[in-house]
Amino acid sequence: MVSNPESPNRIHVLVDELTAASARIDAMVDGPVWSLSDGGLLALLLDCSEVLTRLAAFRLQIVAEVHGRGLARRTGACDTVALLRERLRVRAVDANRLIDVAVAVDGPLAATGKRLVAGEISVEQAQVIVAAMRSLPAAVTGDVRRRAEAFLLRQADEFDPTALARLARHLRETLVWMDASPGDDAPDPARTGGSRGDDSARGEPGDGGVGSDGGGDGQLGGPDDAAAAGGEDPAGRRKLSISELPDGMTRISGELDPEAAALLRTALDPLAVPRPAVDGALDPRSPARRRADALVDLLTRTFDAAVLPVGGGVRPHLTVTIPWSTLRGRSGVPATTGWGQPLPREVLRRLACDSSVGRIILDPAGVPLDVGRTQRTVTADIRRALIARDHGCAFPTCDRPVGWTEAHHIRHWIDGGHTSLDNSVLLCGHHHRVIHHQGWTVRLGPDRRPEFLPPAWIDASRSPRRNPYSRHAHDLLYGIAAG
């Protein structure tokens, strides 16, 4: 550890403790990690991650104090962001995030700060929660905000930051549907060119928020998502950039709202599946390469079919799941795209003007009972029911979307198994092979949802496991918006 000789507090007890901790880390570096058993190695990884999180939480306390004192200007920096960029050598957007989370967990989101200090959630999950709480409608009561934070903290025990951010968007949209008042997001510093200076309040009462996430990566539930919360058509924020590079390649980048993103992914996914070679060798292309190839394939097929209109055109097909009560205007539960993104009320109204409606009837546990036909064979209707139940690959912890899955017979057809909803489960290609070749067993639980029993060499008790990502956001959100 490098101490700052200019610091008059270099012999402070906290500095002494940190120096001692650094010395203990020095003693561990290059240690005999190879001598650990498999179980010990995994346990050490988890313990190390917890310690890193706790240390990161302590750093946030320091950042909050630096920011609260206005220390930046006394050291010659224009604001705290500039100070952190210079001293920590981080990007401005990351400095903004550090400050926002530090201010939030030091004040209005103290419960999140407590979990962070205990090492029970990661800094990335805390960033998601801070951004999510900031995006809630302004009229949401303090009690609902506390319950929303507690809900997100519970879900952080199971979900990674990406899935947690998606669930947070469902939460926000649910509250927006109940109350159309806009959220209270501040402008994104990364987009407007501004930054968080020392004049930013440390969560002062009445400021309506806990700071911008300074993001823009689409993963933390930031301003792009919040724009939809206020009734603005999110399509107005779409953008696509095409830039020619010096080496002859072209860079394509942009941002799409949930509706447009679902259309694009639905179109590309069937064309982006891995293609084994004639001899059975695995497709060597990366997922990014396959998606790029799929885009080219899609364009080629479109040109070959001569379907590009001279003026006007045919609307692409988009699957949206809408509770019947919502379709009739009697519910605050938002509609959802096939990719799990909640749709704002205004978008649903527009789509409902020109769309066909297919019926799926669910039981109280959310399992499809009827898909609109009496014949239960291998049809698109059975797959629609599987999608409504499994929401993607059902294997424990897998987050592959429905477009990457195939239906697996729980009891093989050759062994007398029926092709029906209760004898089928959605699995991605990888986990389909795992089920067939590595000793896993699939069954339906009492609630008619799939659960997986690992082989004895993984778990001697063979305790059933479920995929938390298969649970619908509506079920997880039950009770948050009540009252």
Q: What is the pLDDT of residues 370-389, one digit of tens each?
A: 555 433 344 677 888 888 88
- How far is it, in rounded angstroms, from Cα 228 to Cα 235? 9
User: Which of 10-14, 25-29, 236-240 is predicted least confidently?
Assistant: 10-14
Whether 293 and 351 map to the same domain: the answer is no
Q: Are residues 301 and 390 in the same domain?
A: no
Residue 202 has pLDDT above 50, yes or no: no
Q: Give pLDDT, residue 133.
A: 92
Say whether both 293 and 344 belong to one domain.
Answer: no
* Separate counts of helices (H) and strands (E) for the chain: 18, 11
Residues 100/214, Cβ–Cβ less than 8 Å: yes
> What is d(CA 94, CA 85) in angstroms, rounded to the nearest whole number?
9
Please report whether residue 212 resides in a domain.
Answer: no
Q: Which of 327, 357, 387 is the last residue of a domain?
A: 357
Instruction: Report the pLDDT value the prediction gives residue 297, as an integer from 0 to 100.
Output: 84
68 plus 160 within the same structural domain: yes
Rounded to an integer, the average pLDDT of 50-73 is 91
Tally of domains within the chain:
4
My answer on whether 76 and 121 are in the same domain is: yes
pLDDT value of residue 188: 41
The predicted pLDDT at position 443 comes to: 93
Dump pLDDT digits (tens) for 109-158: 999 999 998 889 999 999 999 999 988 888 888 898 999 999 999 999 98
| 296 and 352 part of one domain | no
Q: Which of 8-17, 66-75, 283-292 has the lowest mean pLDDT?
A: 8-17
pLDDT band at 275 (very low <50, low <70, confident <90, very high): confident
Tell me whether residue 86 is in a domain. Answer: yes
pTM of the model: 0.63
E-only strand ranges, 308-367: 320-321, 335-337, 342-343, 361-362
Query: Do the domain assignments include residue 294?
Result: yes
**Is 402 part of any domain?**
yes
**Residue 388 shares a structural domain with residue 450:** yes
pLDDT for residue 379: 64
Structural domain of 282: 272-307
Residue 245 domain flag = yes
Residues 396 and 343 both lie in one domain: no
**24 domain residue, yes or no:** no
pLDDT at site 199: 41
333: in domain: yes
Residue 22 has pLDDT above 90, yes or no: no
Specify which of 202-206, 230-234, 396-400 reaches the highest per-range mean pLDDT.
396-400
- Is residue 61 within 8 Å of residue 18, measured between CB atoms? no
Residue 16 placed within a domain: no
Q: How confident is the model at residue 215 (pLDDT cuts 50, 70, 90)?
A: very low
* Inter-residue contact 133 to 210 (CB < 8 Å): yes
CB-based contacts of 436, cutoff 8 Å, min separation 6: none
The string of pLDDT tens digits covering residues 287-310 is 889 889 888 888 877 766 666 665
Candidate from 64-68, 353-357, 459-463 with smallest mean pLDDT? 353-357
Rounded Cα distance between 132 and 89, Å, is: 27
Are 172 and 58 in the same domain?
yes
Q: What is the pLDDT of residue 480?
A: 60
In terms of domains, do 173 and 288 share one? no
Residues 101 and 165 occupy one common structural domain: yes
Q: Identify the H or E element spanning 240.
A: strand 239-244
Same domain, 265 and 276: no
